[in-house]
């Protein structure tokens, strides 16, 4: 008996001009339903606030409008003939897409301000613009299938759509009965339309493997340094494309763009130049995504235990000298992909505490340095005389941390010496503190964002 999990399959589409217009019509319907429902919610909230200011309360207030998807859908169905007389020309899933996005946004805003949602505060939903919103439609009901030739898919009201690439990987699972399509999302990204299938897959139970532990230290000079001694080069896709991006940006600046202050519309030349710039950025993103997926898949398949650090990536972006290169490397994406891929392959992911001094600790004797400047690329231990690359030293310390883990828990592993301030004992290096912390095994974070976005 296998293990069921949720996975996304994403394919590029080759659409005819008529099909592209139909896609944009569905995206416009989703935007129409979202904006109407948001205006209705805001009007009811403002009316109830005004009535309370007059001293009214209880049942005399204007009835509240529910924020759930069923409540918003019910209100839309009552007035859709007046709001959108053309509603029968598009699929009902288009309106459901806009209403579902609003329901999720209102829920996130409410939970964020009530303290139920952790992280940064979520703002109140805003109206969607035709010019700044990414066209997207999500289908959950109706005919959603991959055709037998594996080069076409069929979606409700859109009919038969040609794929740019073969869908054989998904088709094989569907034919074997080990996969079930739950939803399909059509989205325009980088000037090209894509379809993403959210699929429930029954994966075979991974076979037992010999214990293989690898520590992964991510960086800018090398994308990843493994405890095995392997150095994964950083392709720096953004730097490689920077000259072309600058040239396209300058060409765009010479065209007559939109100006909302005077109501000026962009010229056709500006639209073409903007599309070229968007495609160039999309190419960089695709290259980065492809490289990260290949790296994380290899690590999850070849090793039973992967140890990484809990990096404060958002804080790293405050360094204006390194922010662009840190974003180009994709530190957070590496950890996110390892989280679910290690579980798919029967392994585990251990996350070291953010304050664990992996770079300052000697992998030979365990001595901890008080300070280690970023410019010092070689770790020289004053206790045992060990001298090696600082990133390789950190990766070995991360791999050694797995031996201290005995039980599976939640949250980052503190590890030995994981203190926010490195203790100073005169001028001597500080030995690592004894003691073992709890283990960390990430949950079932599935890559559904690509399909549900």
The one catalytic residue in 328, 343, 353, 391 is: 391
Name the β-bridge partners of 166.
none
Pair 189, 174: CB distance under 8 Å: no
190: Cα separation from own chain's centroid: 17
Name the β-bridge partners of 199.
7, 181
Specify the 3-state DSSP secondary structure of 80: helix
CB contact set of 2 (below 8 Å; sequence gap of 6+): 178, 202, 203, 204, 205
HSE-up (13 A, CA, CB side) for residue 52: 8
Name the strand (E) or helix (H) holding 162.
Answer: strand 159-163
CB contact set of 220 (below 8 Å; sequence gap of 6+): 234, 322, 325, 326, 329
Is 391 designated active site? yes
The one catalytic residue in 189, 217, 343, 353 is: 217
Biggest alpha carbon distance in the chain? 80
Is 14 designated active site? no
Pair 73, 87: CB distance under 8 Å: no
Pairing status of strand 378-380 against strand 305-309: unpaired
Pair 303, 212: CB distance under 8 Å: yes
The one catalytic residue in 93, 309, 328, 353 is: 309
Is 383 designated active site? no
Active site residues: 217, 309, 391
């Amino acid at each position: 008996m296998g293990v069921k999990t949720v996975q996304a399959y994403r394919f590029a589409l080759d659409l005819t001009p008529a099909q592209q217009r139909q896609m944009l019509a569905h995206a416009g319907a989703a935007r129409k339903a979202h904006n109407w429902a948001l205006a209705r919610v805001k009007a009811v909230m403002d009316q109830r606030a005004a009535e309370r200011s007059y001293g009214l309360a209880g049942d005399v207030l204007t009835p509240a409008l529910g924020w759930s998807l069923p409540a918003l859908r019910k209100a839309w169905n009552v007035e859709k003939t007046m709001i959108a007389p053309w509603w029968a020309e598009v699929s009902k899933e288009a309106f459901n897409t806009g209403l579902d996005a609003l329901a999720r946004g209102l829920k996130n805003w409410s939970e964020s301000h009530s303290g139920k949602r952790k992280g940064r505060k979520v703002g109140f939903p805003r109206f969607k613009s035709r010019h700044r919103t990414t066209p997207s439609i999500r289908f959950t009901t109706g005919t959603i299938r991959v055709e037998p030739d594996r080069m076409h898919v069929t979606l409700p009201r859109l009919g038969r759509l040609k794929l740019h690439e073969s869908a054989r990987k998904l088709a094989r699972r569907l034919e074997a009965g080990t996969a079930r399509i739950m939803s399909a999302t059509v989205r325009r990204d980088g000037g090209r339309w894509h379809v993403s299938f959210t699929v429930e897959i029954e994966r075979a139970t991974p076979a037992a493997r010999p214990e293989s532990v690898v520590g992964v230290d991510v960086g800018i000079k090398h994308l990843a340094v493994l405890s095995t001694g392997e150095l994964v080069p950083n392709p720096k896709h953004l730097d490689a494309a920077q000259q072309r991006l600058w040239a396209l940006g300058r060409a765009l600046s010479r065209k007559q763009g939109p100006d909302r202050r005077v109501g000026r519309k962009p010229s056709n030349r500006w639209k073409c130049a903007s599309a070229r710039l968007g495609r160039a950025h999309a190419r960089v993103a695709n290259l980065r995504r492809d490289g990260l997926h290949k790296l994380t898949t290899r690590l999850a398949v070849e090793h039973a235990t992967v140890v990484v650090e809990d990096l404060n990536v958002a804080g790293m972006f405050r360094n204006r000298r390194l922010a662009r290169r840190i974003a180009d490397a994709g530190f957070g994406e590496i950890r996110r992909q390892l989280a679910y891929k290690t579980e798919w392959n029967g392994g585990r992911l251990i996350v070291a505490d953010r304050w664990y001094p992996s770079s300052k600790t000697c992998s030979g004797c365990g001595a901890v340095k008080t300070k280690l400047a970023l410019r010092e690329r070689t770790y020289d231990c004053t206790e045992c005389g060990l001298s090696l690359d600082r990133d390789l030293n950190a990766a070995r310390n991360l791999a050694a941390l797995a031996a201290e883990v005995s039980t599976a828990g939640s949250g980052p592993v503190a590890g030995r010496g994981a203190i926010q301030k490195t203790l100073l004992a005169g001028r001597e290096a500080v030995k690592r503190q004894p003691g073992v912390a709890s283990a960390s095994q990430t949950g079932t974070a599935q890559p559904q964002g690509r399909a549900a976005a």
